[in-house]
Chain A
Amino acid sequence: MYRYLRRHKKFPNVWCPGCGIGIVMSAIIRAIDRLGWEKDDIAMISGIGCSGRMPVYMDFNTMHTTHGRALAFATGLKMVKPEMHVIAIMGDGDALAIGGNHFIHAARRNIGITSIVINNSVYGMTGGQYSPTTPTGSLATTAPYGNIDQPFPICELAIAAGATFVARGTVYHAVELDRLIEKALVHEGFSVVEAVSYCHTTFGRINKLGTAVDMLRWQKENSVTREAAAKMTPEQLQGKIVRGIFHEREFPEYTAAYAKIIEQAMAGQRRV
């Protein structure tokens, strides 16, 4: 684990004690370690907010970009360095609000980027405003009367947009999470892992959900595997987080498809 951290430079970190983002970070590191990838071959690109700070702690090629644009930056890098493992780290705001358009189009292209969407249902760093994944009825600093929006279902959206690997895990089930991330990393096309986290500091406090431990316990008690969910009725599934791999299919990866265009064009076989 320590081999992957910029330990002399950047710790302690910016996250609140008890934050789930650290668990996602360690899950990513365990997955990469098992794969035995070279640190030089990995680029980690993030957006803005609490999740956006993750790359700074890890000893890869790292880039902290503008809010919502991680996937667009990552797309340019992946195009010119298709041999690199490009990982986009996003929060729910990054991926689905300001960056929602980039998210669906990166999925549509099936470009070989692994997206880790850390879903804590709120804008944490800016002070607890409602996000595209805030449950209907929840309180937030900009929803003092309760949120009336529907939360975006991240995995369903990714599948509909064309992502070829889609999975969901929770930070309570940390070991399961790193297995999901490992599968996403080796997947050829655009892969998405929704890492369900929590924000006890802003979302938890305003909604009286208790401490970080209480919120972790809630995840434990209110999540089910995909296999278990298949045997449950819609009523039983109400309010539950379903974990597992939801979608896996083959489709030509974007940079590989473009490499063929280059090959044809350079050979003078372009279609006019």
Chain B
Amino acid sequence: MAARLMQGNEACVEGALAAGCRFFAGYPITPSSEIAELLSRRLPQVGGHFIQMEDEIASIAAVIGASVGGVKAMTATSGPGFSLMQENIGYAAMAEIPCVIVDVQRTGPSTGLPTKPSQGDVMQARWGTHGDHPIIVLSPSSVLEAFLLTVRAFNLSEKYRSPVILLMDEVVGHMRERVELPPRETLEITDRVAAHVPPEWYFPFEDPSTDVPPLAPFGEGYRYHITGLFHDRAGFPTERVDEIDPWIARVFGKINQHLSDVLSWEEDFPAGSRVLVVAYGATARAARHAVKLARAKRYKVGFLKLETIWPFPEEVTERLARQCKRVIVPEMNLGQLALEVERVVGRQKVRRVNRANGEMITPQQILAAIEEK
């Protein structure tokens, strides 16, 4: 495709369409609204459906309903709407229904600063629902990545029958960059595993051969039950511990045993680096620039940009941090992902660089932290 000037939200739309998304339900909210606006025009052009629901709770519910109908589906929102969606995100995790939720973060809490950037929903993305369940969260830092990670979000969602959250921020969502999108035919697209067994042999919540059972759409002969209650392999409610425990083991296992597939990052770590900067989202851009400035001043600095932030990429963080004296974690919140970095590398090594007032963290701010002794 030819190079274009494109906005992050627009790239997200193109990524969704390329991945095969054919259903969107949403409720307008700044700074995510362009995603809904563009999809309302683009989806019917490719035979897909767009619906503006009455609120965010209805939006995610409709997305799950459409996914049960066998269609790749997504919604897009920002912090306040994301909060409203949490119960049904938990439902999607419990019922193992693939769907993609885009959260273009703005500064919060509450109505906060609607048009200003933030990375304040890191913990909400992980722990916003109640109870224990795995989740996959991806965070792009450029317009091109908004495209690529949206495709990946759909692929992972379909592959692992799990909700996947694309955690953008206002900077990435609204920023325009010159991008050249990869041609469709070069993209790897994953579809959910279809059921091939006779209906009477089909168990939607168990497959002995893998951790991820096939998902048959409604209306194609596989009549089964879906519930948000703990359920047996057929989908019927259960309170039996010997049925609940295997469910928990399987749904956590299906993600944790495939970390090499789920996790992605970029590392730029010259041998002998003494300081490691760990960043994600829009902040990774300022961080990369700060690393460049520091290296020009002959500081030995390594850089780790995380694309998958949940499950947290422990191994790479630990491997690189072990070789360093200090780890710097800049983020547009008061230290959410830093908690994970501290958990992995120890508190004494980690220096947080935070800003939660709607302003970007500058390269100079990060450079100052690198230069500290």
A residues 254-270 near B (Cβ < 8 Å) are: 258, 261-262, 264-266, 270
Whether a CB of chain B sits under 8 angstroms from the CB of A39 is: yes
CA distance in complex: A69, B53 (Å): 12
* Interface segment, one of B61-69, B113-121, B183-191, B287-295: B61-69
**Assuming the A-B contacts A73-B61, A81-B218, are A63 and B226 also in contact, with contact meaning beta carbons closer than 8 angstroms in the complex?**
yes
B228 contacts A65, C-beta separation under 8 Å: yes
Known: A64-B229, A79-B49, A84-B219. Is A69-B61 also a contact (CB below 8 A)? Answer: yes
* Shortest beta-carbon distance from B239 to chain A in Å: 12
* Of B57, B70, B217, B228, the contact of A72 (CB 8 Å cutoff): B57
Instruction: Decide if A56 touches B236 in the complex (CB within 8 Å).
Output: yes
Q: Please report the number of residue pairs spanning A and B whose Cβ atoms sit closer than 8 angstroms.
A: 142
Whether A80 lies near B70 (C-beta < 8 A) is: yes
- Which A residues are in CB contact (< 8 Å) with B229? 64
Measured between beta carbons, the chain A residues less than 8 angstroms from B48 are 262
Interface size class of B (residues with CB under 8 A): 35 or more
Whether B63 contacts A76 by the Cβ 8 Å rule is: yes
Q: Considering the complex, which residues of chain B in the window 154-202 have a beta carbon less than 8 Å from any beta carbon of chain A?
A: none
Minimum distance in angstroms from B272 CB to a CB of chain A: 54
Contact indicator A265/B44 (Cβ below 8 Å): yes
How far apart are A133's CB and chain B's nearest CB, in angstroms?
A: 21
* B58 with A43: CB separation less than 8 A: no
Q: Are A75 and B58 in contact (CB under 8 A)?
A: yes
How far apart are the CA atoms of A40 and B220 in the complex, in Å? Answer: 7
**A221 within 8 Å of B (CB atoms):** no
A15 within 8 A of B: no
* Residue A138, interface by CB 8 Å: no
Flag A16-34 by CB within 8 Å of B: 1 or 0 each: 0000000000000000000
Residue with the highest number of chain A CB atoms closer than 10 Å, among B70, B91, B218: B218
Q: Is the CB of A101 within 8 A of B218?
A: no
Interface of B is mostly: mixed
Of the candidates B23, B57, B217, which one forms a contact with A69 in the assembled complex, judged by CB atoms under 8 Å apart? B57
B226 and A76 contact, CB distance less than 8 A: no
- Among residues of A, the one whose C-beta sits closest to the C-beta of B25 is A76
> Interface 1/0s, chain A 78-120, versus B by CB < 8 A?
1111011000000000000000011001000000000000000
List, in ascending order, chain B residues with CB within 8 A of A105's CB.
53-54, 58
Also in contact, A64 and B218, with CB within 8 A (given A80-B69, A258-B49): no
Question: What chain A residues lie within 8 Å of B53 (beta carbons)?
Answer: 72, 75, 105
Which residue numbers of B lie inside 8 Å of A, CB to CB? Answer: 22-23, 25, 41, 44-49, 51, 53-55, 57-59, 61-71, 73, 87-88, 91, 217-221, 223-229, 234, 236-237
Other A-B contacts than A73-B62, A75-B51, 6 sampled, CB-CB below 8 A, are A45-B65, A62-B224, A66-B88, A72-B62, A102-B58, A261-B44
In order of increasing CB-CB distance, the 10 nearest A-B pairs are A76-B65, A76-B62, A72-B61, A265-B44, A72-B58, A76-B66, A77-B65, A61-B218, A80-B69, A73-B65
Query: A residues within 8 Å of B by Cβ?
Result: 9-10, 39-41, 43, 45, 55-56, 59-66, 69, 72-81, 83-84, 101-102, 105, 258, 261-262, 264-266, 270
The 26 listed contacts between A and B (C-beta, < 8 Å) are A9-B234, A10-B236, A45-B65, A56-B225, A64-B229, A66-B91, A72-B53, A72-B57, A72-B58, A72-B59, A75-B25, A75-B51, A75-B53, A75-B61, A76-B62, A76-B66, A76-B69, A77-B66, A80-B49, A81-B217, A101-B55, A261-B44, A262-B47, A265-B41, A265-B45, A270-B44
